[in-house]
Amino acid sequence: MYRLVLTLTASLCALPAFASETTFEQVKIDAGATLFETECRRCHAVDATGDSYSPPLENIVGRGAGTYEDYDYSIALEASGIVWTEAALRAWIEDNAGFMPGTKMRHVGISDRTVQDFILSYLVSISTQDNSAIAE
């Protein structure tokens, strides 16, 4: 009996810990995708194939601000010189107009940290290109 409990405990600790972490991240990405649909999609497509009134957000994490070629950015955004790190994106989602006065993105203002986390997880999931060279 004792050995059985030990064996069970050991296997519970080993495998599922990894599995549940993966699942947890996937749940965040899925929630973020839903939030993206309601909060961002009416203006932003993910990639250039989608209808987009604003710059597509594929590979946004690590991308220089205002660098999507086919989009006519505000001077404020284009001249900002910032790189879209997760921290910058969080500040932007929370209060884009306060973070960057002069931007032409209508004010978004999502102050709930959990909602920000979900949207960030989603933005990370659609950023598959390695932008590290640009980010430095």
Binding interface with ligand HEC (CB under 6 A): 39-40, 42-44, 54-55, 57, 60, 65-66, 68, 73-74, 76-77, 84, 89, 92-93, 103-106, 108, 110, 119
Rounded to 10 degrees, the C-alpha dihedral 75/77/80/82 comes to -160
DSSP-based three-state secondary structure for 55: coil
CB of 49 to ligand HEC, least distance (A): 17
| Nearest alpha carbon to residue 122 among 18, 34, 19 | 34
- Closest CB to ligand HEC among residues 22, 111: 111
- Closest CB to ligand HEC among residues 106, 113: 106
Give the C-alpha separation, 27 to 118, whole Å: 9
Length of the chain measured in residues: 136
- Closest CB to ligand HEC among residues 11, 129: 129
CB of 8 to ligand HEC, least distance (A): 44
